[in-house]
Structure 1
Amino acid sequence: MASTPGATTRDRFPPQIPFIIGNEACERFSFYGMRNILTVFLIDYLLRNAVPDEGARSAQAKSLMHLFMAGVYFFPLLGGYLADRWFGKYKVILSLSLVYCLGHACLALFETNPTGFYTGLVLISVGSGGIKPCVSAMVGDQFNASNKHLVKKVFAIFYWTINFGSFFASLLIPLTLKHLGPAVAFGIPGILMFIATVIFWAGRRHYVVVPPTGPNPHSFLKVVGSALRNRKPGSHWLDGATKEHPTEAVEGAKAVLRISALLLPTIPFFWMLFDQKASTWVIQARAMDPQVGPVTFQPSQMQFINPALVMLLIPLLVGVVYPAFQRAGWELTPLRRMPLGLAVGAFSYAIAGYYQVIIEQGTTLNIAWQLLPYIVLTLSEILVSTTGLEFAYTQAPREMKGIIQSLWLLTTTLANVAVAIAAALNVFTGSGQFFFYGGLALLAAVAMALMARNYQVRDYYQEDTSGPVPDRAQPPVATVGEKKAL
């Protein structure tokens, strides 16, 4: 029987997708492998002779760790700009992946040389951060109207792959550091990043390459500049920009300001909590009994709990918990989930702070006790991070979605800079830092809940012109949804 080509290819992923997924799995292993041992390496190796006092050494290691993370989430702004405006995603990913590999090489070769090691961290922050907004966007570029129904599935695989790589890196690389030393522990992630680059390059003949757009004459900054030059008394201050820009661009700029006013004062306090699982929580684990039954855990290894729980909890929340609340008549809308997530994150720090109080009183807790705050923090991550990213995207019209995604990443940069400064000043130590950051997150939760009551929800959906399934692979057309109840 003759086969119908359309029937056999419609439900099959494009042949280039395995190259991108394979690249992502190896790249995420490489990143989390080096990041998750960074705090312990700085304390036990690089800073050991320069800073004899362990308390001061831990504070400095924490500060350096969060400065590095701030760079990782700042450089996506550069990578996304270069890809969208000038060079395209493929060229940016490939070139910055080579920078990324060079950074890993510096870590492995200069483990005893601070200048060489810190150079490696800068190169990795440029490479990892620069490709971050490009890889996921390139996945969407590979689909068209004939297979658009597969986009949601491929992004689920993509997100699962990120946590898969993080899970195994968190388990294996801390053991490598312990038994084989830093050169090998940093070298393995470097090899994985090189493999990731080769896999990505190998698919070069298959990719759908979307050309760069060039400068945007109606960008957010140009609209703001025009509004400042053309003030209109008695109206919104951005309305003056309609003299030089279309109404859609001006309304998009208003959406950016509206979303920024909600997210920028609150979401950084979540990232202050979440990113300290790679620093403050690792330092706490160093003071715990690592023996759990027959297994001896390294302090950095406990971070494996987070990706493992993400893979389990997202289906539970999306498939069971959220629908149950909706059936009960109280829907967990994004503007309810995010403040709730901040409060849940604050609770995780209250638990960890209580553990620290016990440790400071001279009692040695087993490292398995960290499982509970990790569960609570991961629940907070799903409520805030996955919800917030989707919310920020849907609240902006098509022409402003890039700047909104940049602002979302900027919240992480601001959070890590704040933690780095606080750690460098050594303002809070011991249990006090847990309660301090938890208290800030709780205040942010209250503030966000109050601001959300007056927020005008405007969902910009993909305009459906060809059938019942929206084309999520293409840039959405701005169509404003109805205001939803909070």
Structure 2
Amino acid sequence: MAETTIPASPVKAKSRFPKSVPYIIGNEAAERFSFYGMRSILTLFLVKQFFNPADNPALTDQANAHANKLHHLFVMVAYALPFVGGMIADWFTGKYKLILYVSIIYCIGHLMLATFDGGLSGFELGLLVVAIGAGGIKSCVSANVGDQFDATNQDLLSKVYGWFYFSINAGSMISTVAIPWTYEHFGPKWAFGIPGLLMALATIIFFSGRKKYVKVSPQGINRNNLVFITWYALTHLSQRKPGQHMLDIAKGTYDPERVEGVKAVYRVMTVFFFALAFWAVWDQCLSEWTLYAAKMDRVINLGFTTFTVYPGQLSTFNTLFLLMFIPLFNYVIYPWLDKRGLKTTPLRRLGTGLVLTALSFVVIGVIHTSLDHGGSPSIWWQVFAFLILSAAEVLVSITGLEYAYTHSPKSMKSTMTGIWFLVVSFGNLITAVVNGLIEGGGWWATNLKGANYEWFFVAFICVFIIAFLIISPRLKERNYITDPVIINQVAAETERL
């Protein structure tokens, strides 16, 4: 009897990170140092230098609201432009060229902040240029991470986004310690100049990896985009078949993959809408919270040493907690829950993150109430609020970046990420408008005075949580990276046409 030989099963090669990843992560760490470093002192600087230099108690509320408004308008512009930058990269330049060229503009903006620290008009122009630089590259940088991966190492994508976010917060942590200290001891020129030097370093690091990147070519402008496809579908509704998705009407005239991409945009926008509540309040930890910290007991006693933290340094706790929470969630909490049948889907992460966001503002509301009554609460209360908010950030922000990439087709990666950052922009617009109304006086100034400001935003977030609980069970997730049904469906329709 002949011996039967059973062929050995092929051993799957171990996935490896692309060689370009260290350059991308190094660039992001230095760029985030520059961005968060200047933001850590921005609100305090605006109040002290321009809006209330004499520290007149009668002007405190108006000056604070004015500074907060300008800060959030700056963030709004910085996070609105990724949508534009993403389209330019997809259509004309590709991600690599756009990141490189706009980074140079970014450096010029930082130079203007350091130069015009004594004049409001010049300083505001510098803020606009920095916002253009930061916003122009932002969606492209995060989408460029995903472009470096293929079918052989897709299993590492979630981890690399975690490390990408880790680099963001490593740069942020160092800057939020160093820049407020620099501001107190050497003044605004050095405090705004050092972030400019780090942005120059970020540009050099990115350029150094130019031969190692996977560079996705621009797609060029054509009629296969969201506006044309949506308009065609709306104007040809009479051709819709029973049970057919409205946008499928356009598949006979437009590229079916692009039609699927537009459908993905609307699906993802539904999910991203709920993140609006998070972004309407998160950036307040770098603006409003610093003003509260200035009035708190900021002496920290660790037993073996005692020191006083500067108000702008408090956000360092946010980055410190994130550096701990990112590996904790990725390697411990998520796997532990998944093994017990509680799969940590993006929607579940987002919902949990919203609840934690509201709780962090409850803590800040309690702090503000104490300050209103003449108290001087320990800064550890704000540290506690940062702990809760940091956990919420892991659940909302990292999930959003990953969701934007995995739930969109290849042709719309940068644009989809730009939409995520557009949500951040709208959130800051809401906060800027509220502060503008407070600055203007009247009903808003009277009813949102003191801690009522925080309770307003707690109620605001709770409205989103209730809506999320109602709508989220009806939302279907469609992953373009791992779902074979979607991949085969798009391929079949493309081949058919």
User: For this structure pair, what is the TM-score category when the shorter chain's length is used for normalisation?
Assistant: 0.7 to 0.9
Partner of 1:3: none
Identify the match of residue 179 of structure 1 among 157, 177, 185. Answer: 185
Partner of 1:468: none
Partner of 2:130: 124
Q: Write the mapping of 1:267-282 to structure 2, written as runs, cut at 5 A.
A: 267-282=275-290
Contact 2:90-2:412 at 8 Å conserved across structures = no
Partner of 2:6: none
Matches of 2:409 and 2:16, distance apart in 1: 31
Partner of 2:5: none
Contact 1:27-1:196 at 8 Å conserved across structures = yes
- Segment of structure 1 superposing worse, 250-259 or 212-221: 250-259
When normalised by structure 1's length, the TM-score is 0.87
Partner of 2:452: 432
- The alignment status of 1:31 with 2:51, answered yes or no, reads no
DSSP 3-state at the match of 2:221:
coil
Contact 1:337-1:383 at 8 Å conserved across structures = yes
- The alignment status of 1:57 with 2:51, answered yes or no, reads no
Partner of 2:8: none
Contact 1:226-1:244 at 8 Å conserved across structures = no
- The alignment status of 1:386 with 2:398, answered yes or no, reads yes
Partner of 1:295: 307
Alignment-mate amino acid for residue 110 of structure 1: F
Alignment-mate amino acid for residue 32 of structure 1: Y
DSSP 3-state at the match of 1:457:
coil
Matches of 2:216 and 2:462, distance apart in 1: 43
Identify the match of residue 346 of structure 1 among 354, 358, 376. Answer: 358
DSSP 3-state at the match of 1:453:
helix
Q: Write the mapping of 1:175-254 to structure 2, written as runs, cut at 5 A.
A: 175-232=181-238, 235=241, 236-254=245-263
Partner of 1:458: 478
Q: How far 1:233 moved relative to its partner?
A: 5.9
- Segment of structure 1 superposing worse, 421-430 or 241-250: 241-250
Partner of 1:95: 101
Matches of 2:16 and 2:399, distance apart in 1: 29
- The alignment status of 1:334 with 2:343, answered yes or no, reads no
Alignment-mate amino acid for residue 450 of structure 1: I
Identify the match of residue 361 of structure 1 among 355, 360, 373. Answer: 373
Q: How far 1:350 moved relative to its partner?
A: 0.8
Identify the match of residue 375 of structure 1 among 365, 378, 387. Answer: 387
Matches of 2:153 and 2:354, distance apart in 1: 37
5+ long unaligned stretches in structure 2: 1-12, 439-443, 491-497
- Segment of structure 1 superposing worse, 195-204 or 373-382: 195-204
Q: How far 1:208 moved relative to its partner?
A: 4.2
Alignment-mate amino acid for residue 108 of structure 1: A
Q: Write the mapping of 1:443-482 to structure 2, written as runs, cut at 5 A.
A: 443-462=463-482, 477=487
Matches of 2:109 and 2:190, distance apart in 1: 15
- Segment of structure 1 superposing worse, 225-234 or 80-89: 225-234
When normalised by structure 2's length, the TM-score is 0.85
Q: How far 1:280 moved relative to its partner?
A: 1.5
- Segment of structure 1 superposing worse, 392-401 or 192-201: 392-401
Q: How far 1:142 moved relative to its partner?
A: 4.5
DSSP 3-state at the match of 1:295:
strand
Do the aligned partners of residues 84 and 297 (structure 1) sit closer, same or farther apart at CA in structure 2, a change above 3 Å counting? same
- Segment of structure 1 superposing worse, 131-140 or 105-114: 131-140
Contact 1:17-1:139 at 8 Å conserved across structures = yes
Alignment-mate amino acid for residue 46 of structure 2: L
Do the aligned partners of residues 333 and 89 (structure 1) sit closer, same or farther apart at CA in structure 2, a change above 3 Å counting? closer
Q: How far 1:251 moved relative to its partner?
A: 3.7
Matches of 1:143 and 1:260, distance apart in 2: 25
Q: How far 1:267 moved relative to its partner?
A: 1.5
DSSP 3-state at the match of 1:108:
helix
Do the aligned partners of residues 458 and 26 (structure 1) sit closer, same or farther apart at CA in structure 2, a change above 3 Å counting? closer
- The alignment status of 1:168 with 2:158, answered yes or no, reads no
Alignment-mate amino acid for residue 461 of structure 1: I
Matches of 1:257 and 1:329, distance apart in 2: 29
Partner of 1:472: none
Contact 2:84-2:418 at 8 Å conserved across structures = no
Partner of 1:4: none
Query: Across the two proteins, how many residue pairs are aligned to each other?
Result: 461
The percent of aligned pairs where both chains have the same amino acid is: 39
Contact 1:232-1:240 at 8 Å conserved across structures = no
CA-to-aligned-CA distance 1:447-469 (integer Å, 9 cap, x gap): 111101222333333478xxxxx
Matches of 2:189 and 2:128, distance apart in 1: 18
Matches of 2:157 and 2:335, distance apart in 1: 23
Contact 1:252-1:397 at 8 Å conserved across structures = yes
Contact 1:22-1:199 at 8 Å conserved across structures = yes
Q: How far 1:71 moved relative to its partner?
A: 0.8
5+ long unaligned stretches in structure 1: 1-8, 465-475, 481-486
Alignment-mate amino acid for residue 265 of structure 2: V
Contact 1:460-1:478 at 8 Å conserved across structures = no
- The alignment status of 1:285 with 2:293, answered yes or no, reads yes
Matches of 1:218 and 1:76, distance apart in 2: 20
Alignment-mate amino acid for residue 89 of structure 1: K
Do the aligned partners of residues 64 and 312 (structure 1) sit closer, same or farther apart at CA in structure 2, a change above 3 Å counting? same
Matches of 1:327 and 1:10, distance apart in 2: 23
Matches of 1:365 and 1:246, distance apart in 2: 60
Alignment-mate amino acid for residue 22 of structure 1: G
CA-to-aligned-CA distance 1:371-411 (integer Å, 9 cap, x gap): 11111111111222222333344333444444432221111
Matches of 2:202 and 2:474, distance apart in 1: 46
Partner of 2:144: 138
Identify the match of residue 45 of structure 1 among 38, 49, 55. Answer: 49
DSSP 3-state at the match of 1:332:
coil
CA RMSD of aligned residues (A): 2.7
Matches of 1:108 and 1:353, distance apart in 2: 35
Matches of 2:342 and 2:163, distance apart in 1: 30
Alignment-mate amino acid for residue 238 of structure 1: L
Q: How far 1:183 moved relative to its partner?
A: 0.6
Q: How far 1:21 moved relative to its partner?
A: 3.0
Alignment-mate amino acid for residue 245 of structure 1: Y
Alignment-mate amino acid for residue 480 of structure 2: Y
